[in-house]
Amino acid sequence: MVTAFGREEVRTAVKSIAKRTYLVDKRVMIHLDSDLPMFGTEPYALNEFSIHKRDVASMIKIHTYLNGEFLNTYWADGLIVATPTGSTGYSLSCNGPVVFPESGSFVITPVAPHNLNVRPIVVPDNNIISFKNSVLGR
C-alpha cells in the first residue's frame, strides 16, 4: 500500500515502485478473535478496534485481562484498543497517548469512563488482551 504521496506525485511514486527505490514502513496490526462471527475472513485492524455500548444501555462493564491475568474493570461507554498507528485517531480523541510506531505497544483507552480515576494504559504488544463485558442500566 502506497500512501505517502499526493496526487501530483503519482508518476514519481510509480517510477519508484518500478525501480524498487521505495521504503517499506512496517506497522503492527491487531488480530481479533470473537465468540460471535462478525469479522469474516479478515479479523485484523491497522488502527484500532473498539467495544461500545448499544443505544439501550447507559454503560457497559468491561472486565479486561492481559495474558489471562485480570487488569481492570472499565465502567464506560466503551473501550478502544489501538495500535501505535491508531493511537493518533479515535484513542487520541478520547485522551489516549500518542505512541511511536516502533514502540512495540498497544493502547487501551476507555470511552467516556464513568469513573474519574480511570486512564488509558500502554501495554506491550506481545500480550493477549481479552475481555468479558456486560450491559448495565437496561
* CATH code at position 114: 2.60.200.30
Per-residue pLDDT band for 24 (boundaries 50, 70, 90) equals confident
| 6 found inside a domain | no
- Region for residue 132 given its phi and psi (left: phi exceeds 0; alpha: psi -120 to 50; beta: otherwise): beta
| 96 found inside a domain | yes
State the cell numbers at 35: 465468540
Whether residue 120 contacts residue 110, with contact meaning beta carbons closer than 8 Å, is answered with yes
Number of domains forming the structure of the chain: 1
| 109 found inside a domain | yes
The whole-number pLDDT of residue 26 equals 83
Of 80, 42, 53, 45, nearest to 64 (Cα)? 80
pLDDT tens-place string over residues 27-85: 888 888 887 777 777 888 889 999 888 777 788 999 999 999 999 999 999 999 999 99
| 16 found inside a domain | no
| 18 found inside a domain | no
- Rounded to whole angstroms, how far apart are CA atoms 58 and 77? 8
What strands, in cross-sheet order, belong to the sheet with 121-124?
48-52, 78-82, 105-111, 121-124
Q: What is the rounded average pLDDT for all residues in the chain?
A: 87
Whether residue 132 contacts residue 60, with contact meaning beta carbons closer than 8 Å, is answered with no
| 79 found inside a domain | yes
| 22 found inside a domain | no
12 to each of 2, 7, 24, 79, how far by Cα in Å? Answer: 12, 10, 16, 41
Per-residue pLDDT band for 136 (boundaries 50, 70, 90) equals low
pLDDT tens-place string over residues 101-114: 999 999 999 999 99
- Rounded to whole angstroms, how far apart are CA atoms 134 and 54? 11
Domain span at residue 68 reads 27-136
| 17 found inside a domain | no
